[in-house]
């Protein structure tokens, strides 16, 4: 029986829940929504221990607010890549879909095919938590897709080849190192390190050296604007302001990339060690392939200026940053979901 790809995929939904950002994509509805994985939930004392009553705020809207309402709790549902609060994550996804008016097109709870991106090689208990979360979304036969396979598909890597293909994903709260060969993972390692840790190193630096308490969003802006782990052609500077640690008053000062480089290099040491640990455990013949093919950097942390050059010098392998490193995993996961829909229909 002939089938229509549009008919099959009109209810597809791909979800990538990250420690810092969560992305929801539907190809057929041509939507893509990415927001902060933070949610404020109203949980008065009368319901303590019995869950939340309703959502108060989430995402970037929450980041711009100062919450002073009693009974409101700010939750980070994903921590270091793991599902810390399934109920809060479910409410966050529902809020994101509502904002997109996704349900105006159809009720994904009725018949949608859903794919959820999860870390690779999860312990059984953690895998079961993600599976229960995916089941609770209400779709038909929810799929769990391991992030490295989604990334490889998004990059168009031929992981079935008898060669080593190395990916390094520097996420917001977790970094993984994945080596592919013959269609599977020949090596895998991870570290509880990511872009949030790099930003935290800057806030500590300013507090200790400048005696200024810098807001998190400001430190993040400094990192993205002038931060680097490899010398720039020209010095970059930025004027920022924070609260004087002694008086509490606003204090403005100018900082340049030279001042911050050693701080950021030290902050990236866990990344270097994670890569070295993974490489130390792989077969020698695959290590030889990497000397030629190098490694691909993905994730938001890959956008830190000079990271590829820095790792090339430290590790001794050529590194390069993928095109659109932030969205490569969700693109690949969506492609794998649609491929599974077509294969199932063809059967």
Q: Say which residues have a Cβ less than 8 Å from residue 267's Cβ, sequence separation at least 6.
A: 197, 198, 201
List own/partner pairs for 85-91 with CB under 8 A and 24 or more apart. Answer: 86/129, 86/132, 86/133, 86/136, 87/51, 87/52, 88/39, 88/41, 88/52, 89/17, 89/37, 89/133, 90/133, 90/136, 90/137, 91/39, 91/41, 91/52, 91/55
Distance CA 179, CA 163 (A): 10
C-beta of residue 37 within 8 angstroms of C-beta of residue 20: yes
> Are residues 243 and 251 in contact, defined by beta-carbon separation less than 8 angstroms?
yes
Q: What is the largest CA-CA distance in the chain?
A: 75
pLDDT at 51: 66
Residue 75, pLDDT score: 87
- Which position has the higher pLDDT, 137 or 263? 263
Locus of tokens 């938001």: 300
The total number of residues shown for the chain amounts to: 347
Determine the Cα–Cα distance for residues 304 and 207; give it in Å rounded to an integer.
22
Query: 261: which 2 tokens?
Result: 């480089």
User: What are the tens digits of pLDDT across the range 188-218?
Assistant: 999 999 999 999 999 999 999 999 999 888 9
DSSP SS3 for 96: helix
pTM of the shown model: 0.88
Q: Indicate the CATH number of 5-38+76-150+327-346 among 3.40.50.300, 3.30.930.10, 1.10.10.10, 3.30.420.40.
A: 3.30.420.40
User: For the chain, what percentages of helix, strand and coil (3-state, to nearest 5) are there?
Assistant: 45, 25, 30
Q: Name, in order, each residue with C-beta under 8 angstroms of 46's C-beta and a sequence gap of 6 or more.
A: none
Q: How high is the pLDDT of residue 227?
A: 96
CB atoms within 10 A of CB 92: 26
Domain ranges within the chain, ordered by starting residue: 5-38+76-150+327-346, 39-75
57: which strand partners? 40
Integer angstrom CA distances of residue 7 from 2, 24, 112, 159, 207:
11, 20, 11, 30, 56
Mean pLDDT along residues 74-90: 92
Confidence of residue 44 (pLDDT cuts 50, 70, 90): low
With beta carbons less than 8 A apart as the criterion, state whether 283 and 271 touch: no
Q: Report pLDDT digits (tens) over 272-299.
A: 999 999 999 888 888 888 888 899 999 9
User: If 0-12 CB within 10 Å is exposed, 13-18 middle and 19+ buried, where does residue 169 land?
Assistant: buried
Mean pLDDT of the region 36-62? 72
Name the average pLDDT for the chain.
86
**Residue position matching structure tokens 């009109």:** 10
pLDDT digit string, tens, across residues 114-167: 899 999 999 999 999 999 999 988 777 789 999 999 999 999 998 998 888 999
């Amino acid at each position: 029986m002939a089938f229509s790809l549009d008919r099959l995929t009109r209810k597809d939904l791909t979800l990538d829940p990250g420690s810092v950002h969560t992305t929801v994509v539907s190809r057929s509805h041509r939507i893509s929504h990415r927001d902060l994985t933070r949610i404020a939930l109203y949980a008065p004392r009368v319901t303590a221990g019995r869950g939340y009553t309703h959502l108060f705020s989430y995402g970037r809207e929450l980041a711009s607010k100062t919450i002073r309402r009693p009974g409101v709790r700010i939750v980070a549902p994903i921590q270091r890549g793991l599902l810390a609060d399934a109920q809060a994550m479910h409410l966050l996804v529902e809020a994101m879909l509502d904002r997109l008016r996704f349900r105006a097109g159809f009720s994904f709870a009725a018949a949608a095919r859903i794919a959820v991106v999860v870390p690779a090689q999860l312990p059984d208990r953690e895998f079961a938590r993600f599976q229960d979360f995916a089941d609770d979304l209400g779709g038909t036969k929810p799929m769990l897709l391991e992030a490295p396979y989604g990334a490889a598909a998004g990059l168009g890597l031929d992981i079935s080849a008898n060669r080593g293909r190395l990916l390094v994903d520097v996420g917001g709260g977790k970094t993984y190192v994945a080596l592919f060969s013959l269609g599977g993972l020949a090596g895998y390692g991870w570290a509880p390190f990511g872009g949030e840790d790099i930003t935290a190193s800057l806030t500590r630096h300013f507090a200790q050296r400048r005696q200024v308490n810098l807001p998190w969003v400001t430190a993040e802006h400094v990192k993205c604007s002038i931060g680097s782990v490899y010398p720039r052609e020209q010095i970059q500077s930025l004027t920022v302001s924070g609260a004087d640690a002694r008086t509490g008053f606003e204090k403005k000062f100018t900082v340049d990339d030279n001042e911050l480089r050693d701080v950021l290099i030290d902050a990236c040491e866990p990344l270097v060690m994670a890569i070295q640990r993974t490489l130390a455990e792989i077969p020698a013949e695959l290590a030889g392939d990497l000397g030629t093919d190098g490694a691909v950097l993905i994730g938001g942390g890959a956008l830190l200026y000079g990271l590829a050059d820095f790792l090339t010098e430290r590790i001794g392998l050529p590194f390069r940053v993928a095109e659109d490193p932030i969205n490569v995993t969700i693109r690949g996961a969506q492609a794998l979901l649609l491929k599974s829909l077509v294969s199932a229909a063809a059967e």
